[in-house]
Structures are given as C-alpha cells and as structure tokens.
Amino acid sequence: MVRKFIRILTFLLSITLLVLTLALTWEFPTVAQTIPGLGMSSDEEISVKPYVPVFNRGNLEIAPVFLDGKIIGTIASFIKLDSNTNKNQASIYSAVVRSQLIHSKLQKILHNMSNYTQEVLPKQGISTIEAQEKELRKQIVTTSSESKGTTFVSVTFPKNDVPEIIYSVTQADIERPRFGGSQPLKIAKHAKEITENILIQAWKERQTPYLLAQAQLAMLLLVALTCTSLTLGWIQKQLTIRQRKLKDSLSNSETIQLEDNQTFSSSKITEKFRAIAPQFDRLSIEQRYSLHAFYNSTLFWTQWLVWLLGIGYISSLFYWSRSWSNWMVGVTIRGSRAEEVIVGWAPLDWILSFGREASLGTPLFILLLLLVARLTIKGGDVLTNFLARRWSEQKSIQKRQTLRVSTLARVSKAWLRAIVYLLLGVTLLHHLHQLGTFTQVVTVFVGFISFALSLASQNLLKDLIAGLMILSEDQYAVGDWIVIDGKDGLVESITLRVTKLRNLDGELITIPNGSIGVVRNLSSEWSQVNYAIEVAYDADVDRVMGVMEAIAKQLYCDPQWQEQILEAPRVLGIDKIAHTGIEIRLIIKTQPMQQWLVAREFRRRLKKAFDEQGIEVGVPQQVMYVNGPVSKTSNGNFKINTQHQN
C-alpha cells in the first residue's frame, strides 16, 4: 500500500510539474478569466493582451465573455470594419477587447457586492445568505437606455452609486443571427435582464455553503480518479509482465511455440517450411508483442488524459480555479446564441465543430498530440506486423519472401515514426506560432537552421533514394550475408539511410546507402559450395573424382544434411593442371547461409576418405640441375664430385 501511495503521489506531482512548466513556457491566461482580487477596475488598466479565444462566423468574430472563469455570453465585432460602419465608440473595439472590457466591469461590481455583504450587511443584522441575496437584489439596478444613437446597458451598485455602462449595442451585435429580434433596444433589454441574475449567481458561488458542497463533490471525484487510475495501472502492470515474456521469447525465437501452444512436428511440415519456421514464429511473436505494447500505451496515456480532464473538471467547480480549467481543458461557444449560452464540453464540441466553435486548452492539446502520436506509432506497428504475418503465410514456402517481409516491416515502422514525429513537430510549432511565442529573433534563428539543414540534406536525400531502390529491388534483406566494397558481414538492419553489417569478428559496419555500389549477396534464394582441391600430379584422377562424388552423395543422403542440401552434388572435373598438382572442382547447392556449414562437413569427410585411399594432395614439383659427376655415399645420399685443376 505504501508503494502504491508513493506512486500516486509521484504521479500527481508529475502532473503539477507539467502544468507549472507549461505555465512558464506559454503565456498563462489567467488574465482572461480573472481570479478575484486581480480583476480590472477600469478600461485604462487593460494593458496585457488576455487569452480570449475568437471564433469567426461569416464577417463577424465572436468572443466569449467571462465572469469568474464562466462564460456568461458572447460578444461580436466585424472582422473588417468600414469607416462608415463605426457609429459609436464601442464599434472600433475588437471582440477580444470588448469581452475583456465587459469582464473587468462585471468583475469590479462583483467585488463590490462581496465587500458589501461582508462589511455593510452584517452591521445591519443581515447575515443569512437568503436575506443578503434579497438585499443585493434591491441594491442592484440595471437599466437599458439610448443616448445619441447608442443603446447601452448600465449597472448601478449600490443603488445610490454612479451607474456603470457595461455593454453597448454595436452594428455587429445587430447583424448577429438571433431569435429575439435584432432591434438595439430589444437586445439591450435582454442583456439587462440576464445581468442581474448573472451577478447574483456569481456572488452565491463565492459563499461558504456552496464552496463546501463543491468541495465534497471534488473529493468524491478525486477518489473516483484515484480508483480509476489504480485499476488502469494494475491492468497496465499485467500487460507489462506479458510484454517482458514476449520480449524474452523474441531473443530466443527458435524455442518459441505458436499461439495455440503447439509446435510443428517434423512429420506435419515440409522441409522448406521447417527452414522458415523460426522466422514465421518470430513474426507471430512480434505481432503479439506490438499488440500488447499498443494496449499498454493506450492505458498509460488514458491515465494522463483521465487525470487532466478530472483535474480540469474539479477546477471548474470553484470560482478561483475556474480559469485553470479553461486553460487546461478549453473553451466552447458551440450551440450558444446571442440570447443565451448553452453549457457544453470543450473537447467534445471541438471535435463536433472541427475546431470552429471551440478551443482546446494548451495542456490538453499537447497531451492529445502526444496520445495520437504514440497510439499511431503503436497501432502502425500492430498493423505492420499483422500484414507481414499474413504475407508470410501466403508465401510461407519461400524463405526469401519471409526475410524480405521482415525487412520491409522494420523499415515501415521506422518511416512511420519519422513521419509522425515530423507532423508532431510541425503541429507544435504552428500552435506556438498561434500563441505568439515566436519573436523576430526566434524566427530568424529557425530560418537560419532550416537553411543549414537544406544544404546538409543533399547526401541524406541521396542515401534515402538509394535505400528505397535497394528495398524495392530486393538487393538484400535483414539476415543476408553480403559483400560491399570488400566488407562482408551479416545484415543486421536496413533503413532508407544506412545498412549495418556484423562481420565474423563481431564488428558492426555502418555503410551509407548512397555510397553502396556493387553488392555481392551470398544468401539470396539459395547458396552454393564451390569447392576445389589439388591432388598430386601422378594421382589417378578418375579414382579421385569417384571418391569425391561418393563422399558428396553420402553427405547428400545423410538425413541430418538433407534439409541443408537442395540438389545432388556435382563433380565438374579437372579445372587446372599445374606444377602444384591437378585441381578438381565440385559444387553443392544448399539452403541460404548453409554453404559454409556443408563445406566444412564435406572437407572433414573427404580428408578421412583420402587418408583411407592413400590419395595425396598436390605438392609443388621442383627440378634441380647440377654440373659434374654424382656419386652415391654409403648412407644413401648423393654427392657431387668436383675436380680441381692445376
């Protein structure tokens, strides 16, 4: 239990750190949905550009109006204004500025209402919420009037104070589609009617009974979030255990059973299928592994999504944290009309309106990007492995096709990751640009980096094109033994940029695809033992060839070697007659990558046969010419006699 508590606490701290990091990275929009005590008191104090989303409808831009972080209505302005259209001072303001002006004035009145109920009414003996609400309704005076061609709504609190103009009807407001009539006076009267109720409701949400009820709801939601997270974490742990088992199986795929936990017996499969069975089993295991990885990733990001949405909803329960909710989850005006605001949910409305009438919060937007990116990658792995296995089943009698399927599957996964990360980066940069993060200096720096990358990408483009040709022409695949410019080795991996070889010394050789010229593939489709041996010059060549042919046929008929040898060996005959001996050549067609093993066994058997038959290998022949008489000594050696002349 202690470990689980520590994990939950760590998870919550991680979310807090993430939120704080994002708050420091991007402009934190608390100004838009002002926290009490930070509200604007006058129009001149609006110096910071608030974060207020704007939505376009025809030639109008619509912006929500906030009070304590809650949308109480929407305001309109023209996208492009003509000088003849500006009939009053409010018409020159954009929707964002008008929204902030209304918000700051209402926030000031709400602040005065709170002070009035805390300082004035208790002195008069009015302390209950119901009695204070009645007194507030008496003190709030909302009026709609027209002066000099401008219709406006004013609020007075307390009733003996100076009226505050809250809202002026502009031409943009008149041209908005509405059901209650487009006459300026009707629009103002409707705004007057809802203003008092909005202020009273906002005041009630600041009172202790309401806050205690919301706190209880927040605790229940927090418990539900914790239980949900623990459940998802337990399921994720089980999937992780299964993933580890499958990963161990991949490292030792020769001993892996298929999904039905039954291995193929030698009597039920052909020799060729037995040769590719390890590759087929590996594809099956990789498919199951990628499927578990997809489920695991889904659960992981679902936990983050659940916590973010849960914290966002809990933040929306309180007036002081509602701005956090708008920043984390988003804002929506979908379904709202000029006369009223229909409560919606920003993420759902963002999907249904394709982003035209709702905006996502920055944390949720980034989290959804990461979620979509990771699930796309994991889902792509599952689909790639599924298609690779299906293709391998259709081509199961050809080992070469299985090798090629495995290679193409790896390259496809790598390219899917590259494309997803590229799109993710472009989307994030676009979002940062919309938030105004890019200054002129940053833009120049990014342009310089882009120019430098374009110059350095010439060789990269050459490597990518060469890699594409290698894969499309099937020059070699993972598992082949190839020779490139005198460097030979087993192909460990192929990407569109490089090819990696592992030689017999264990060295990893990385070769850019653009520099690859002639390639010798020693294991494509089939391999061959090209064996030549020199025997003594005076040996009986017919007898020697008979012995070689007999040993080769014996090896071909051996049950342990029948799978590796595809055709009956052939003795080609005498290739060369030289002073070192007579060279006789033999070839044996084998399975790919089996030529060296078969050649070693053939040489071992041939050596034993030559020893039994008394056949000697070739020895260089030398002739010595001497001058003078030769005599034989007593020990059997020869001696050259020299004569001395006087």
- pLDDT for the residue numbered 231: 92
H helical segments located in 395-439: 399-434
In angstroms, the CA 58 to CA 53 distance is 16
In angstroms, the CA 212 to CA 194 distance is 26
Edge-first strand order for the sheet with 60-67 is 55-57, 60-67, 70-78
- pLDDT for the residue numbered 262: 34
- pLDDT for the residue numbered 421: 81
191 near 151, Cβ under 8 Å?
A: no
Edge-first strand order for the sheet with 508-512 is 508-512, 498-502, 487-494, 481-484, 519-521
Residue 113 contacts by C-beta under 8 Å, 6 or more apart in sequence?
136, 140, 157, 199, 203
In angstroms, the CA 110 to CA 207 distance is 13
In angstroms, the CA 427 to CA 351 distance is 17
Cis ω before 363 (30° cut-off from 0) = no
In angstroms, the CA 443 to CA 513 distance is 34
Tokens of 396: 């199961």
In 3D space, the residue among 159, 162, 165, 160 whose CA is nearest the CA of residue 146 turns out to be 165
Residue 26 contacts by C-beta under 8 Å, 6 or more apart in sequence?
362, 432, 435, 437
3-state secondary structure (DSSP) of residue 144: strand
In angstroms, the CA 424 to CA 368 distance is 11
- pLDDT for the residue numbered 625: 62
444 near 36, Cβ under 8 Å?
A: no
In angstroms, the CA 273 to CA 250 distance is 19
3-state secondary structure (DSSP) of residue 646: coil
In eight-state DSSP terms, residue 523 is S
**Which residue is it, tokens 């022409």?**
473
197 near 136, Cβ under 8 Å?
A: no
Torsion of CA 109, 110, 115, 121, to 10 degrees: 90
**Which residue is it, tokens 């742990």?**
237
- pLDDT for the residue numbered 92: 64
In angstroms, the CA 497 to CA 507 distance is 20
**Which residue is it, tokens 């329960």?**
317
Catalogue the long-range contacts made by 234-238 (C-beta closer than 8 Å, 24 or more residues apart).
235/299, 236/296, 236/299, 236/300, 236/303
In the chain, the N- to C-terminal Cα span, in Å, equals 117
310 near 197, Cβ under 8 Å?
A: no
Tokens of 370: 């990461």
**Which residue is it, tokens 């020799």?**
271
- Scored b (16 or more CB within 10 A) or e, 119-158 reads eebeeeeeeeeeebeebbeebbebebeeeeebbbbbbbbe
Mean pLDDT, consecutive 10-residue stretches, the chain (646 aa), reads 50 51 42 34 40 80 88 83 47 79 90 89 86 88 84 87 86 74 79 88 91 93 92 90 80 44 34 45 77 90 92 91 88 73 82 85 88 89 82 60 72 81 78 63 66 67 80 80 87 84 87 87 84 87 90 90 87 87 90 87 91 83 63 61 51
Residue 599 contacts by C-beta under 8 Å, 6 or more apart in sequence?
529, 531, 588
85 near 335, Cβ under 8 Å?
A: no
In angstroms, the CA 371 to CA 458 distance is 33
Which H or E run includes 212?
helix 208-251
In 3D space, the residue among 203, 35, 25 whose CA is nearest the CA of residue 114 turns out to be 203
- Length of the chain (residues): 646
In angstroms, the CA 69 to CA 122 distance is 28
In 3D space, the residue among 503, 509, 423, 512 whose CA is nearest the CA of residue 470 turns out to be 512
In angstroms, the CA 176 to CA 338 distance is 7
For 69, other C-beta atoms within 10 Å of its C-beta total: 23
Residue 64 contacts by C-beta under 8 Å, 6 or more apart in sequence?
52, 53, 71, 73, 74, 75, 99, 331, 333
Torsion angles phi and psi, residue 143, rounded to 5 = -135, 150
In 3D space, the residue among 306, 476, 292 whose CA is nearest the CA of residue 385 turns out to be 292
Letter for the amino acid at 265?
A: S
Torsion of CA 625, 629, 630, 634, to 10 degrees: -170
In angstroms, the CA 9 to CA 280 distance is 44
